[in-house]
Homo-oligomer: A and B are copies of this chain.
Amino acid sequence: MALTVEQLAKHIGGTLVGGDPNTLILKPASIDTAEAGDVTFLSNMKYAPLLNTTKAGVCIVSDTNDLTANCALIKVKNPDLGFTLAVSALVPLPPRPDSGIHSTAVIHPSAKLGEGVTVGALSVIEANAVIGKNTVIHSNVTVGNGAVVGESCLLYPGVVLYHQIRLGNRVIIHSNAVIGSDGFGYVFDGRDHIKIPQVGTVEIGDDVEIGAGTTIDRARFGKTQIGGGTKIDNVVQVGHNVTIGSKSIIVAQVGIAGSTHIGSGVVVAGQAGISGHIKIGDGAKVVGRAGVSKNIPAGESWGGEPAKPYADFIDELRNIKSIGGLRKRIKELEAIVDELRKSK
């Protein structure tokens, strides 16, 4: 796909400044590696000097800055968004299996597939499963008994959906993620750990994306829930009966223990751990690698181990750094006090 600079500016709703409007743009690139025929963008102002040396055909920049450059500029409100729209216009969607049901896929006769559904080679759709229209399922996927997948979803190779779990529309799940495995629960009867049946399910809202290798357990009863528009990175563990609101961001390798409730618009950064049975309020932010064991009020940022409000976390780091200095001051005091005592 190729667009002129002028077409591109129009497509992303920006204003073209400088350069030849007919320059042909073929692909996106980063500002330091871009060549003629590339579109790039400037979002972080620390890279602004690169505008003078970039070889890009056009650069998407913020309309609030009065920038000049070595190339044409497209000014928009949000350069990240503008560039994302540009990339989507220039680069084809990732390749998909041939449309239709592959001859080697195993579809149970009781499963219901909507119009335009694609099922790749060697995938299994079990009894009573329902797949919404235009959903694309790659190869080696298993959709469990009675599972319901919405419309226009995209399941990459190796995804497993356990029985009776439900996906909304436009859900993307990356390879080898597992949705609906049993929650981890046992009762000790004095001799053995007796398995607690996990008879609930998982419900995933519209426009959720789930990363490779992520695991989301089904509920003990009721449901584990991921709200619409929430994005989950790779190898995240979500325990049973957890609920996450809408439009939250959960970064890679985070673990969320059972029955915890996470609000909407929350950001949990990488490798953080969140205890069970607590509440993280709407819009809260959890610093990477934090260990959260208490409720976090809405809108607050917490970090550290155990996690505390961000200012306290920064204080704690500073306090720890100060210990050596405190020891020195105590030693000096001891010497002076010793002197004072002797001279008395």
From B28, B160, B306, B329, give the contact of A176 (CB < 8 A).
B160
Contact: A142 with B140, CB < 8 Å?
Answer: yes
The distance in angstroms between the C-alpha atoms of A329 and B222, with both chains bound, is 53
Kindly report which residue of chain B lies nearest to residue A127, judged by CB atoms.
B95
| Complex contacts, A257 vs chain B, CB 8 Å | 251-252, 270
From B182, B209, B319, give the contact of A324 (CB < 8 A).
B319
Contact: B95 with A144, CB < 8 Å?
Answer: yes
| Complex contacts, A247 vs chain B, CB 8 Å | 192-193
Known interface pairs A235-B237, A334-B333. Does A320 touch B320 (Cβ–Cβ under 8 Å)?
yes
The distance in angstroms between the C-alpha atoms of A264 and B97, with both chains bound, is 37
A261: CB under 8 A from chain B?
no
A323: CB under 8 A from chain B?
yes
User: For the complex formed by this chain, how many copies does it contain in all?
Assistant: 3
A4: CB under 8 A from chain B?
no
Most B Cβ at <10 Å: residue of A87, A102, A207: A87
Contact: A237 with B249, CB < 8 Å?
Answer: no
Q: Report the minimum CB–CB distance from A19 to chain B (whole Å).
A: 21
From B81, B156, B199, give the contact of A91 (CB < 8 A).
B199
| Complex contacts, A323 vs chain B, CB 8 Å | 316, 319-320, 322-323, 326
| Complex contacts, A273 vs chain B, CB 8 Å | 253, 270-271, 288-289
Known interface pairs A178-B213, A326-B323, A326-B330. Does A157 touch B160 (Cβ–Cβ under 8 Å)?
yes
Of A49-57, A66-74, A118-126, which binds chain B? A118-126
Of A278-286, A294-302, A335-343, which binds chain B? A335-343
Kindly report which residue of chain B lies nearest to residue A87, judged by CB atoms.
B197
From B231, B251, B340, give the contact of A193 (CB < 8 A).
B231
0/1 per residue, A127-142, Cβ < 8 Å to B? 1000000000011101
The distance in angstroms between the C-alpha atoms of A172 and B324, with both chains bound, is 48
Please classify how large the interface on chain A is, using the bins under 10, 10 to 19, 20 to 34, 35 or more.
Answer: 35 or more
A205: CB under 8 A from chain B?
no
The distance in angstroms between the C-alpha atoms of A172 and B140, with both chains bound, is 21
Contact: B270 with A146, CB < 8 Å?
Answer: no
Q: Report the minimum CB–CB distance from A166 to chain B (whole Å).
A: 15
A224: CB under 8 A from chain B?
no
Contact: B289 with A199, CB < 8 Å?
Answer: no
Known interface pairs A121-B106, A176-B176, A333-B333. Does A215 touch B209 (Cβ–Cβ under 8 Å)?
no
Which residues of A come within 8 Å of B, CB atoms? Answer: 27-30, 33, 78, 80-81, 84, 87-88, 91, 94-95, 97, 102, 104, 106, 120-122, 124, 126-127, 138-140, 142, 144-146, 156-158, 160, 162-163, 172, 174-176, 178, 181-182, 184, 186-187, 189, 192-197, 199, 207, 209, 211-213, 215, 217, 221-222, 229, 231, 233-235, 237, 239, 247, 249, 251-253, 255, 257, 270-271, 273, 275, 288-289, 291, 305-306, 315-317, 319-324, 326-327, 329-330, 333-334, 336-337, 340-341, 343-344
Could you list 5 examples of A-B contacts with CB < 8 Å?
Answer: A29-B222, A184-B252, A235-B237, A305-B305, A323-B323
Query: Can you name 18 extra interface pairs (CB under 8 A) apart from A158-B178, A329-B330?
Result: A84-B197, A87-B199, A91-B199, A95-B144, A95-B146, A102-B106, A174-B182, A178-B213, A181-B212, A192-B207, A193-B247, A252-B257, A271-B273, A273-B289, A288-B291, A330-B333, A333-B337, A340-B340
